[in-house]
Amino acid sequence: MGFNNWNSTHCRAEFNEAMVEGIADAFVSQGLKDAGYTYVNIDDCWALPNRDANGNLVPDPVRFPHGIKAVADYVHSKGLKFGLYSSAGTKTCDTQGFPGGLGHEQQDAALWASWGVDYLKYDNCNNNGVDARQRYEAMGDALRATGRPILYSICEWGENQPWNWAPGYGNSWRTTGDISDSWSSMIGIAHHNQPLAPYAKPGAWNDPDMLEVGNGGMTDTEYRTHFSLWAQMAAPLLIGSDLRNVSSATLNILRNTDVIAVDQDALGRQGTVVSSSGGLVVMSRPLADGGRSVTLTNENTTAKTVSTTAEAIGLGGAASYSLRDLWSKQTSTTTGAISASVPAHGTVMYRVTPGTPVPPPTGVDQLGDLPWTSAVNGWGPVERNLSNGEQAAGDGHTLTINGTTYAKGLGTHAASDIAYYLGGTCSRLTVSAGVDDEAGGTKGSVVFRVYRDDTLVADSGRMTGTDPAKTLTADLTGGLELRLVVTDSEDGIDYDHADWAEPRLTCA
């Protein structure tokens, strides 16, 4: 969370030392520091076009007459952190052609650390065709070698699928090209970033670019959608407007601590699309307290009703649910239906908290027929009595493991975690576990684990698409909660379609 000047100033003359220090002042005076914003970052055009005789970068003496270290010291004096910009090429992205970091990684990183830099945005221009991993790994190694904690923001625009390799080098990676201050740009970037939810985790984030909130190209309703979706997608919240002269409406959006709490939730899971039809989009995000945040977005140009259910967003098993509207601050309860009239280009955002769960009925039941209390899945929703399929609900097929079909069960995709409330009334689970044939034979490699509360009571070991189903039996006696967990076995999450086939639960 923080600020970057590019969206409001680009490379114009008003980008200078006074502006950056004024932003740091505004963080404190306008309550943004208290709301969690930490980094005051500068973008391209801070340096002179040429290095000095020793090959070092030189701050532009007109823009920064006291140098970068003095600005970093000022930012630090406010209890904030300071970030700057470079490019993994011979020159940066601005047409004036400031020096990039390619071939100067260790020299530049050491210089930045000596200035007190806490954050690096590393762009992708003028890279001379050098392999992206090589370029970004070199700077990551150089930053670590300084011994100073520096957040490393890889700005590769998603061109080489950085979500597959950037977590090994940096803390975030751009998934798209640059945002602009318009509804079409913002919502298009959201659409591009949404399917990448499985790759986000604590310390490693999808970055759909900086915020345009307050720059004037969208309505306040559209800016609320912008802010809501970025929070729901666990994205960095880097303010892109000049905080010295923004409206009170803009500040109210940027300081919405309920929405910020979703963005910063400790579980660190990016929200996923659970339904999308006719411009009505529902996203659900699991939260550390066991609840969910849900966004109901209307991408149409007229008001519409957007609806979903507690089960569809990954909750179930409770008699009622509390809904808190994170923009209006109103609270209500529901037995499962979640719905709102949403204005054109608007978003209603709820925090959904389940009430007391209900234990399973007496006897032997198929888990696929019972309500779970929560379900998190790596690719699309958990499917009842179908394989995982793709990202839409109900798009799976008959559960099939190594040629054997099953009528009942749960179709999942690593990483997944499904919880059921037992209430101490159940004694046994028996299930056939395996990789579904829709993964493609030799593809897919997962581990199935069953937990009674925090105790591991069954473990499949590594399984692939070539293995027959494995029968797991778990003792659940006295347990309050059952958890079915599927993890990737370190081969990558592609094709990890995992079936809990014929899961029979015996209770009371």
Whether residues 307 and 390 fall in one domain:
no
Whether residues 95 and 158 fall in one domain:
yes
Which amino acid is located at 66 in the chain?
A: H
- Residue ending a domain, among 332, 354, 376, is 354
Whether residues 121 and 197 fall in one domain:
yes
**For residue 391, what pLDDT band results from cuts at 50, 70 and 90?**
confident
Selection from 222, 163, 225, 166 nearest residue 195 by Cα: 163
Give me the pLDDT at residue 443, please: 84
Annotated catalytic residue, options 43, 94, 108, 123: 123
Give me the pLDDT at residue 442, please: 78
pLDDT digits (tens, 9 = 90+) for 270-294: 999 999 999 999 999 999 999 999 9
Give me the pLDDT at residue 172, please: 98
Whether residues 337 and 440 fall in one domain:
no
Annotated catalytic residue, options 73, 178, 467, 475: 178
Give me the pLDDT at residue 358, please: 87
pLDDT digits (tens, 9 = 90+) for 216-248: 999 999 999 999 999 999 999 999 999 999 999
pLDDT at 249 over 90: yes
- Residue ending a domain, among 336, 354, 372, is 354
Whether residues 465 and 488 fall in one domain:
yes
pLDDT digits (tens, 9 = 90+) for 336-362: 999 999 999 999 999 999 998 989 999
**For residue 79, what pLDDT band results from cuts at 50, 70 and 90?**
very high
Edge to edge, the sheet with strand 416-421 lists: 374-376, 416-421, 481-488, 445-452, 455-464
Number of structural domains the chain divides into: 3
User: 345: domain range?
Assistant: 272-354
What's the pTM? Answer: 0.91
pLDDT digits (tens, 9 = 90+) for 445-486: 999 999 999 999 999 999 999 999 999 999 999 999 999 999
Whether residues 414 and 348 fall in one domain:
no
pLDDT digits (tens, 9 = 90+) for 84-107: 999 999 999 999 999 999 999 999
Whether residues 310 and 255 fall in one domain:
no
Whether residues 315 and 391 fall in one domain:
no
pLDDT digits (tens, 9 = 90+) for 359-375: 999 999 999 999 999 99
Burial of 53 (0-12, 13-18, 19+ CB in 10 A): exposed
CA atoms within 13 A on the CB side of 56: 10
Active site residue 491: no
Give me the pLDDT at residue 410, please: 98
Mean residue pLDDT across the chain:
96
Per DSSP, helices labelled H in 59-182 are 67-77, 105-115, 132-145
Active site residue 265: no
pLDDT at 441 over 80: no
Whether residues 298 and 388 fall in one domain:
no
Give me the pLDDT at residue 135, please: 98
pLDDT digits (tens, 9 = 90+) for 313-335: 999 999 999 999 999 999 999 99
- Residue ending a domain, among 337, 354, 371, is 354
For residue 415, whether the previous peptide bond is cis, meaning omega lies within 30 degrees of 0, is yes
CATH number at residue 305: 2.60.40.1180
pLDDT at 198 over 80: yes
CATH number at residue 92: 3.20.20.70
Vertex 318, ends 317 and 322: CA angle to 5°? 135
Say how many C-beta atoms besides its own lie within 10 A of residue 86's C-beta.
Answer: 26
